[in-house]
C-alpha cells in the first residue's frame, strides 16, 4: 500500500484527507454492524444487504467526485450513501421504514436516494441501474457538463442483457460512463466460476467487445482504487469515453442477511483468510500506523465516535414515526406532486 500511496493521484493527500478516508470507512463498518443487530431484533422488513468488507470502494470513489460526477448502484447501497455524505439517522430510519428515512420509509434497505448529493440511489433489479447510469452520463454530455456517472454493479449483473445494451450505447455514443463491477466472487450464492463464462483476463475484458477501456483494480487498497478510478474519471472528463473497471473485493456476510446458505458455499478458512489478510479497513489501519499518520488512540477515538453515531441513529429510527397511509400515493409520479409544473398529457392514475 505504501507504494500505491506514492502514485500521483495520492501523493498530494494531506494527513486530514487520509484521516477522513479512515473515518468514512469506519463509519460504514459500524453502521452496517449496528444495522445487522437491528435486523436481528426483527425491526427491519424485507432484505438487508451488508457492505462489510467492501468499504474502500465506496469511500475511494466518493473521494474523487467533483461537481458533476454522479453515483448510482444496486441493492448493496448503504456504503455509497454514507460515503457521499448521507447521515446515519436518515439511513437507519429508512431501514426501519420510518418517515424520517431518506426515501420517507418507502424504499427500505435497497433504495437509498440523495440526488442533492449526486447519488441516484440503490436499485433492486439486478443490473437495472446500469441503463439508468448510462442515461445520467448521456444527460451530462447532452448538457455539455464536464462530469461522469459511476455505475456500480455486482459480478452477477454482468450477465444481464440490459447491461450489455448499456455498454454498447456508452461506447457507441462516447458517453462519460464509468461502469464498476464490485466483484466479491459470488453472485448471490453461486461462485463466479460457476456463474460467468469469462476469458483469461476476467469480467472486465468483456469491454473489449465494445472497444471500451477496462482495468482490474485491487479493492483491498483505497489508494489503488483512487488510482484506477481516477484514470477513468479523467478519461470521462477529457475524452467523454466510457470505462469498465473490475474491482476485486470480498463480502463477509451472505448475499443478504437472510442468506441461510452463506456458510455452505464457501469455507470458513476462505472467510477467515480475507478477514486476517485482505480486509480493506485493517490493511489501511496498518498502513496509517506504520507511516505514523495516526496513533492507536486516535483510531480508538474515531471508532468510538462511529459506534456512538450508529447507536444514536438506531435510537432515532426507533423513535421515528412510520409514514402515514395518506402518503402512499405521494412520490409515485413527480408530476402528481407538482401539478403546476406538469408538462405531459393524459390521465395520472394517482391523485385523480
Please report the pLDDT score of residue 313 as a whole number.
98
Q: Which residue would you say has higher pLDDT here, 254 or 260?
A: 254
Q: What is the mean pLDDT of residues 140-151?
A: 98
Q: What is the mean pLDDT of residues 311-316?
A: 98
- Strands (E) in 17-100, as ranges, are 69-72
Report yes or no: 4 and 21 within 8 Å, Cβ to Cβ: no
What 8-state DSSP symbol labels residue 323?
P
- C-alpha cell read off for 231: 484514470
Nearest-angstrom CA–CA distance, 223 and 11: 10
* pLDDT over 60 at 352, yes or no: no
Q: Which residues pair with 340 in a beta bridge?
A: none
Q: pLDDT tens digit string along 101-131?
A: 999 999 999 999 999 999 999 999 999 999 9
- C-alpha cell read off for 124: 433492486
**What element of type H or E holds 137?**
helix 129-142
Please report which confidence band the pLDDT of residue 321 belongs to, taking 50, 70 and 90 as the band edges: very high
Please report the pLDDT score of residue 1 as a whole number.
87
Instruction: Tell me, yes or no, if the pTM score tops 0.85.
Output: yes
* pLDDT over 70 at 158, yes or no: yes
Amino acid at each position: 500500500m505504501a507504494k500505491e500511496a506514492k502514485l500521483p493521484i495520492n501523493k498530494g493527500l494531506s494527513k486530514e484527507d487520509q484521516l477522513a478516508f479512515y473515518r468514512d470507512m469506519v463509519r460504514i463498518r459500524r453502521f452496517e454492524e449496528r444495522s445487522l443487530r437491528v435486523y436481528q431484533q426483527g425491526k427491519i422488513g424485507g432484505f438487508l444487504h451488508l457492505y462489510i468488507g467492501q468499504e474502500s470502494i465506496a469511500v475511494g470513489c466518493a473521494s474523487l467526485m467533483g461537481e458533476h460526477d454522479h453515483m448510482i448502484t444496486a441493492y448493496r447501497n448503504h456504503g455509497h450513501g454514507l460515503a457521499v455524505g448521507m447521515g446515519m439517522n436518515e439511513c437507519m430510519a429508512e431501514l426501519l421504514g420510518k418517515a424520517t428515512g431518506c426515501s420517507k420509509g418507502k424504499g427500505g434497505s435497497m433504495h437509498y436516494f440523495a440526488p442533492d448529493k449526486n447519488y441516484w440511489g440503490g436499485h433492486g433489479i439486478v443490473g437495472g441501474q446500469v441503463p439508468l447510469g448510462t442515461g445520467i452520463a448521456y444527460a451530462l454530455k447532452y448538457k455539455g457538463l464536464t462530469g461522469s456517472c459511476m455505475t456500480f454493479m455486482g459480478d452477477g449483473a454482468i450477465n444481464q442483457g440490459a447491461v450489455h445494451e448499456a455498454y454498447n450505447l456508452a461506447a457507441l455514443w462516447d458517453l462519460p460512463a464509468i461502469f464498476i463491477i464490485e466483484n466479491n466472487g459470488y453472485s448471490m450464492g453461486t461462485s463466479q466460476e460457476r456463474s460467468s463464462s469469462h476469458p483469461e483476463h476476467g469480467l472486465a475484458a468483456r469491454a473489449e467487445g465494445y472497444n471500451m477501456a477496462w482495468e482490474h483494480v485491487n479493492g483491498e487498497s483505497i489508494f489503488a482504487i483512487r488510482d484506477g478510478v481516477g484514470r477513468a474519471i479523467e478519461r470521462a472528463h477529457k475524452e467523454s469515453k466510457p470505462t469498465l473497471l473490475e474491482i476485486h473485493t470480498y463480502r463477509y456476510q451472505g448475499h443478504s442477511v437472510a442468506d441461510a446458505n452463506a456458510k455452505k458455499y464457501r469455507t470458513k478458512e476462505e472467510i477467515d483468510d480475507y478477514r486476517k489478510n485482505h480486509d480493506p479497513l485493517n490493511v489501511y489501519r496498518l498502513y496509517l500506523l506504520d507511516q505514523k499518520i495516526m496513533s492507536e488512540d486516535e483510531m480508538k477515538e474515531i471508532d468510538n465516535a462511529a459506534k456512538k453515531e450508529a447507536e444514536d441513529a438506531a435510537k432515532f429510527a426507533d423513535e421515528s414515526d412510520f409514514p402515514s397511509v395518506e402518503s402512499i400515493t405521494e412520490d409515485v409520479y413527480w408530476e402528481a406532486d407538482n401539478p403546476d409544473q406538469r408538462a405531459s398529457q393524459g390521465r395520472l392514475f394517482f391523485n385523480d
